[in-house]
Amino acid sequence: MDGQIIRTEYSEIMQKSYIDYAMSVIVSRALPDVRDGLKPVQRRTLYDMYELGIRYDRPYRKCARIVGDTMGKYHPHGDSSIYEALVVMAQDFKKGQVLVDGHGNFGSIEGDGAAAMRYTEARLQQITQEVYLSDMDKDVVDFMPNFDETEKEPVVLPVRVPNLLLNGAEGIAVGMATSIPPHNLGEIVDAVKAYMKNNAITVKELMKYIKGPDFPTGGIVTNKDELLKIYETGSGKIKVRGKVEEEPCKGGKVNLVITEIPYPMVGANIGKFLNDVAALVESKKAPEIVDISNQSSKEGIRIVLELKKGADVENLKNMLYKKTRLEDTFGVNMLAVADGRPETLSLKQMIEYHVDFQFDVCTRKYQTLLGRELEKKEVQEGLIKACDVIDLIIEILRGSKNQKQVKDCLTMGATEGIRFKTKTSEKAAKKLRFTQRQATAILEMRLYKLIGLEIEALLAEHEQTVKNIERYEDILNNYDSMAQVIMEDLDRTKKTYGRKRRTVIENAEEIVFEEKKVEEMEVCFLMDRFGYAKLLDKSIYERNKETVHNEYKYVLTCMNTDKICFFTEKGQMHSVKVMDIPLTKLRDKGTPVDNLSNYSSAQEQILFVASMEMIKNGTMMFVTGNGMVKQVPGTEFDVVKRTIAATKLAEGDVLVLAGLCDAMDYVVLQTKNGYFLRFMKSEISSMKKTAVGVRGIKLVQGDSVEHAYLLESRMEYTAEYKGKQIVLNKVKLGKRDTKGTKVRIS
């Protein structure tokens, strides 16, 4: 078949395709609909549970069944996304109102994941069934075909409360994201009613009812005055603090107990908070804290900080708020799909969209109910009329040959082919004018309905039907009547499911925490050959220089604000803050370097020690056993991490030399087999610390570099090789990457 080639600009095709993809992600996956406040995966999961009959008053069902059914019928995007959505809807520490009743391990507030779906069970919560999924049989929402057009799914659920505000939302789309905090159900209901009574209400007036977010974890919102702008614009930052209480203990001590955490701390950030507090203790910024224990349980959060007697409690609180995530921000971006496109909404707009949706749902509901009542009224009137002429109807039934003759007679008065006992009966039959629906009901009527009490019940039922019709017509024809119905429904929801506010809204003062400034001073760092390190006052060092240099392997002066760096044979650089090293007397033993840093004397050997100030102002030289050499600018090592790879080593290779080389002119490499090579330092290129380096010496098979020396041209250096003294400055000057000169032992 001949095809037609359409020439077009490639960039235009890419642009159109990407926009189509982005809109698909935005509308079909990532963002909630403003009407029911649900993302497609949440909506489909809840509807599937409703379809499977997993109601709140029925037994739990395996989550694997729910996930599989949802994926097979409505959401073909993988089981993990469906199960994750199901789990979140069951977690009371993430949702303002839990929608799914989970049975089994559904994770914890500390970030523990839920058990696999084959182990957990779930069912709908009562509120979900009564407020989110009720009236689905009354044609209240539109249905659309599923992905393969074998099933029908609702476009939205008929949610009776603004779920977008109640449970909030989080989602990342393409080029945009939504982040809406949860709110209090009772406050939301009051705000919706206030809007329905006065459509011209402002956001400021609405906030008399909705004070601010109501996080499931409680906490304290500290920027009350900024909330108005956030709710007017739909974006901003909410500052949230955890709740810290003082708990008296024996001996006059006081413990700090964290009973509520900021909402953003939910999950792994609790562990990070504990690590941050531990780091403050280790760095001696919070020496008053003796112990940290997480005593949280199903009853709630309880993190206990044990303090020393006489600790400055207020200052410690301020430090926790300033230095940890106990005070955090919740970024608000109230983005949702409204009228088929993403839109950033204000508080009033959200309520406005919800109310419009409720009127639409209510209209469709009562139109359906009115239609049903009118049908019922028609049938009831037919049966009442039939009771008055029941003898004639029986005569028609007995005289007819088939059902069609009976129906034609009842609806049109057609008497042809029907045998009547008298002409009077035939004449009366010709006057019958029942409707088709009434005729069907008469034919299906059972004889016991002719009992007197049954007829009375039918009349009473008809009277009630007429009242229902009047009521439904009033609701449909009068705005105030429909608004009253919606408000009564909201009141019932608030009374049944409302709860007290958890989050406190206030204007708190900005936390002011000033760290004690360390008085900068020069000290002397000492480390002996056993790895014990200490600091010595500079004046004591000056008076005992000879003793110090005789007894200690490494001696260097530095500032107390500096860091000491240890380079090891494994190519690692371990650093420790000078302030973390104890300042002692001359004869005190000191502390093992193993206890101060990540270095382990059992696993590696220290080759070189220097202060960070010395290193970053100089150039480091590295030589390995395989003969690789390189120079590295000292600034490469000025990092925050306590341990880094100082150089890259080949497998099985070790570092032989690490040292500052700025004042040096020559490099001498000595091999195990007695080869010595002296060459100019300038032959070695400057490289990154992640480089392996260049070859310094050609090694014969089985040989390796045993020692390396850095020489200054004005000084004489000697080294011993198998009992022979070698003057390194007199070793024949060669070129890098040559064999060198072999020393012969006579």
Both tokens of 652, joined, read 């099985």
Show the CA angle centred on residue 364, arms to residues 358 and 367, nearest 5°. Answer: 135
Residues 401, 421: Cα–Cα separation, whole Å: 15
Contact 624, 573 (CB under 8 A): no
Beta pairing class for 675-680 and 666-671: antiparallel
Helices H, strands E: what count in the chain?
A: 22, 35
Beta strand ranges found along 612-674 (DSSP E)? 619-624, 628-633, 643-645, 655-660, 666-671
In sequence order, what are the beta bridge partners of 566?
Answer: 574, 609
Contact 429, 415 (CB under 8 A): yes
Residues 482, 474: Cα–Cα separation, whole Å: 8
Closest by alpha carbon to 426, among 434, 435, 417? 417
Residues 535, 555: Cα–Cα separation, whole Å: 10
- What are the CA-CA distances from residue 142 to residues 136, 157, 340 (Å)? 10, 9, 14
Contact 708, 666 (CB under 8 A): no
Interacting residues of 674 by C-beta distance below 8 A, sequence separation 6+: 721, 722, 742, 743, 744, 745
Contact 438, 382 (CB under 8 A): yes
DSSP state of 130: I
DSSP state of 698: P
Residue-level length of the chain: 746
Side by side, which strands form the sheet with 177-180? 169-172, 177-180, 327-333, 235-241, 220-221, 504-505
Residues 357, 351: Cα–Cα separation, whole Å: 10
Contact 350, 164 (CB under 8 A): yes
Catalytic residues: 119
Q: For 616-625, give one letter per residue: b (16+ CB within 10 A) or e.
A: bebbbbbbbb
Calculate the CA dihedral of residues 83, 85, 89, 93 and round it to 10 degrees. 100
> Phi and psi for 366 in degrees, rounded to 5?
-75, -25
- What are the CA-CA distances from residue 701 to residues 417, 672, 674 (Å)? 122, 11, 13
Residues 628, 698: Cα–Cα separation, whole Å: 10
- 3-class state of residue 611 by DSSP: strand
Both tokens of 354, joined, read 């919800």
Residues 408, 600: Cα–Cα separation, whole Å: 103
Contact 241, 223 (CB under 8 A): no
Residues 67, 80: Cα–Cα separation, whole Å: 9
Within 10 Å of residue 174's Cβ, how many Cβ atoms? 15
- 3-class state of residue 602 by DSSP: coil
Residues 703, 720: Cα–Cα separation, whole Å: 18
Show the CA angle centred on residue 55, arms to residues 51 and 59, nearest 5°. Answer: 115
- 3-class state of residue 118 by DSSP: coil
- What are the CA-CA distances from residue 70 to residues 62, 83, 158 (Å)? 13, 10, 19
